[in-house]
Amino acid sequence: MLLSKVLGVVLIARNGDRYNYYQDPFTYAGSETETTALGEVESNRLGSFIRSTYFDSRSPSYIEGIRSDLVDNNEVKVRVKAGVEGSVVFDSAIALLQGLFPPNPNNKIVLANETTVVAPLGGYQYVPVETVEPGNDRSLESWTNCPKFEKHIKEFYSSDEFKAKAKEAAPFFSSVKDYVFGRPTTLENAWNIYDYVNSELTHNKTYAHRLPPTFLEQARHWANYHETGVFAEEDTNGIANIAGRTILHTILSSLERIAFNGDPLQFMMIETTYQPFISFFQQTGVSKEHPELAGIPDYASAIAIELRRGSPPDVRDFLRVKFRNGTTGDFEDVHVFGHHADIPLTEFIYRAENAAITSNKQWMDVCGVKSSVDILGFKTTTDNYFFYILSCIALASVVFGAHFFFKNRRAEQRRLRLQGQEVSQVVYADYGAIVRPSAAAAPTEDVHQYGAVNPYDDHAFVGEDYYPERPLWIL
């Protein structure tokens, strides 16, 4: 279908290159990792490509009416996954935005005194970014700390199909053992094997010279099988598709906003990791039409969901879905839900909305999480209950201790003071030593007359000479 104009775009982008990263094959809890200069360049190039595609008025896919010279924060919104791999995803988002909205000397202001001030770095554009932490929003990381998802993983590993694949993969895992340095060489650990081999091949020259041919391709093949089995299943509402089910809510709500004429939003960018790509392609039937896409997308890959206005006589809103795998090539059309052309927006919403998880409460129900504490990643075990009780007791002790301290302090201030001498004892210090002079050397009346001095004043006493008129403390 020839469509006249693009009304807006929802972009889903994967992070760029990073150092080796480990994921627990049963819980998908992750280790620490860092982005690389290569990853930042990849994401920056993706940003430049997106700019030339959707923000250049000469492009056939130009978003009609969007401001392209300087970012309009009412038209553009950015959400970034901040869970596992969080710092890498955030860095990738910033690098992408630097390519999407490069420095512009028009990013300036004229002050009242007629002075013109240009933003730093030649007009750098600061685009607001919403980080999505799994502790308060599960939309971009729904698969961790999800009991039913972990149960699904165990069932996948124990299935007859997986066991048959493990026997088939055994020769490769036996031969790759010398190149992964102690990491478990099993099909359950296939993703970690691939990620290590791929990272070392990219960053380690000695390793790259030693790795036998086809090892990377074989590692990726088994990792693709593994991740597809974990993050995709035929049932659109299945627990394996949870990564896609939670991101669907953001996609649908953004498309509805873009379609509504009274809402200024025209470009929604979601920076995330690879898992939602696998689920989304499975849920929408893309991986069935394109089996080569049923696996892990390359770094800095992107899905663009374009909202387009149809040409007369059919002026309905349609969706065109495009995919770019990695940093080379152009977007390619991928058709969803069995269509071989653009799909009407209303049909897409109708077929996808029932699978979408729209809130943390719904996520808890789907995952079988019984306490909101588990959203933060804590397990409600006996040890944690004991820890919570001890913490509450400690906090209560601090509160009650502070209460009684201030209560006694106020009582002391309100105490009735009688006329006359109240000094019962005077303590002197001789360079840190506490001495108690005789009554003759330190008459009480003289001491009472002058009061206390600074305890850190080293001129109060010199040698063995006492100055009773300058006492250190009055007790």
Residues 142 and 48 in one domain: yes
CA angle, residues 63, 297, 233, in degrees to nearest 5: 105
Residues 385 and 425 in one domain: no
Residues 167 and 298 in one domain: yes
Task: Extract the tokens encoding 405.
Answer: 């301290």
Per DSSP, 452 falls in state -
Residues 429 and 349 in one domain: no
pLDDT digits (tens, 9 = 90+) for 211-230: 999 999 999 999 999 999 99
Residues 180 and 285 in one domain: yes
Containing structural domain, residue 434: 418-475
- Residue 452 pLDDT greater than 80, yes or no: no
What is the Cα–Cα distance from 421 to 411, expressed in whole angstroms?
21
At 13, is the secondary structure helix, strand, or coil? strand
What is the Cα–Cα distance from 208 to 202, expressed in whole angstroms?
7
**pLDDT band for position 389 (50/70/90)?**
low
Of 353, 375, 397, which residue sits at a domain end?
A: 375
What is the overall mean pLDDT for the chain? 85
**pLDDT band for position 282 (50/70/90)?**
very high
pLDDT digits (tens, 9 = 90+) for 190-199: 999 999 999 9
pLDDT digits (tens, 9 = 90+) for 20-69: 999 999 999 999 999 999 999 999 999 999 999 999 999 999 999 999 99
At 321, is the secondary structure helix, strand, or coil? strand
Task: Extract the tokens encoding 11.
Answer: 């972009």
Residues 199 and 229 in one domain: yes
Token look-up 């006694």 returns 408
Token look-up 């099988």 returns 225
- Residue 381 pLDDT greater than 50, yes or no: no
With the CA atoms of 80, 84, 88 and 93 taken in that order, what torsion angle do they form, in degrees rounded to the nearest 10? Answer: -10
Residues 73 and 149 in one domain: yes
Task: Extract the tokens encoding 63.
Answer: 């978003």
Return the pLDDT at 411. Answer: 52
Domain count, the chain: 3
Taking the alpha carbons at both ends of the chain, their separation in whole angstroms is 94
Residues 117 and 135 in one domain: yes
Residues 322 and 388 in one domain: no
Token look-up 């005194």 returns 113
Task: Extract the tokens encoding 286.
Answer: 């893309």
Of 415, 431, 465, which residue sits at a domain end?
A: 415
With the CA atoms of 297, 60, 2 and 320 taken in that order, what torsion angle do they form, in degrees rounded to the nearest 10? Answer: 30
CATH code (residue 77): 3.40.50.1240
Return the pLDDT at 41. Answer: 98
Return the pLDDT at 43. Answer: 98
Strands (E), 111-262: 116-118, 130-132
pLDDT digits (tens, 9 = 90+) for 396-440: 665 566 555 555 555 555 444 445 454 444 444 444 444 444 444
Residues of the chain above pLDDT 70, percent: 77
Residues 439 and 343 in one domain: no
SS (H, E, C) 418-451: CCCCCCCCEEEEECCEEECCCCCCCCHHHHHHHC
Residues 192 and 341 in one domain: yes
More confident residue, 79 or 457: 79
What is the Cα–Cα distance from 318 to 299, expressed in whole angstroms?
29
pLDDT digits (tens, 9 = 90+) for 304-357: 999 999 877 778 899 999 999 998 889 999 999 998 889 999 999 999 999 999
Task: Extract the tokens encoding 455.
Answer: 């305890």
Of 321, 349, 375, which residue sits at a domain end?
A: 375
Burial of 28 (0-12, 13-18, 19+ CB in 10 A): buried
- Residue 382 pLDDT greater than 70, yes or no: no
Residues 333 and 401 in one domain: no
Return the pLDDT at 404. Answer: 56
**pLDDT band for position 189 (50/70/90)?**
very high
What is the Cα–Cα distance from 259 to 310, expressed in whole angstroms?
13
What's the whole-number mean pLDDT along residues 274-299? 96
